[in-house]
Amino acid sequence: MNISSASLFADIPRQLPEELCQTLFENPTVRIERILSKGHYSAENTWYDQEQTEWVILLQGQARLSFMDGDPVELNPGDYLLLPAHCKHRVDWTSADQVSIWLAIHIRD
């Protein structure tokens, strides 16, 4: 049995010149990522259009996501979203004062 442990709040770089996305676990049906943002946001007029369903929770920081077919959502620590496959969305802003720590689970259908 191979058991491993770590903290989502450990090893956060002091400088984040760009958003950092780290795969924590992956198999043929699921991918789990830690995403670190600090003042990062999606490029203007760009939309994520993912082929898989994504469940995401904001563990620390603040953020706002916009949707092509819906109202923007403000996220605070503990807030989570279920984004169906091909739900076009973008990150409008993340806190520039504190690192935003996301946990994203991508489910391959």
Separation CA 85–CA 5 (nearest Å): 30
Count Cβ neighbours within 10 Å for each residue of 8-36 and write b for 16 or more, e otherwise: eeeeeeeeeeebbeeeeeeeeeebebbbb
What gap in Å lies between CA 12 and CA 106, rounded to an integer? 22
Q: Quick one: pLDDT at residue 90?
A: 96
Does residue 76 sit within a domain? Answer: yes
The whole-angstrom distance between residue 52's C-alpha and the CA centroid of its chain comes to 14
pLDDT digits (tens, 9 = 90+) for 2-11: 898 999 999 9
Domain that holds residue 42: 20-107
Number of domains in the chain: 1
Asked whether residue 12 is domain-assigned, the answer is: no
> Would residue 9 count as lying in a domain?
no
pLDDT at 4: 86
Q: Tell me if 74 is assigned to some domain.
A: yes
Tens of pLDDT, residue by residue over 15-70, are: 999 999 999 999 999 999 999 999 999 998 899 999 999 999 999 999 999 999 98
Q: Which of 57, 59, 53, 64 is nearest to 90 (CA)?
A: 64
Residue with tokens 């002091």: 14
**Residue 101 forms part of a structural domain:** yes
The answer, yes or no, to whether residue 71 has pLDDT greater than 90, is yes
CATH number at residue 78: 2.60.120.10
Residue 10 lies in a domain: no
Is 11 contained in some domain? no
- Domain assignment of residue 41, yes or no: yes
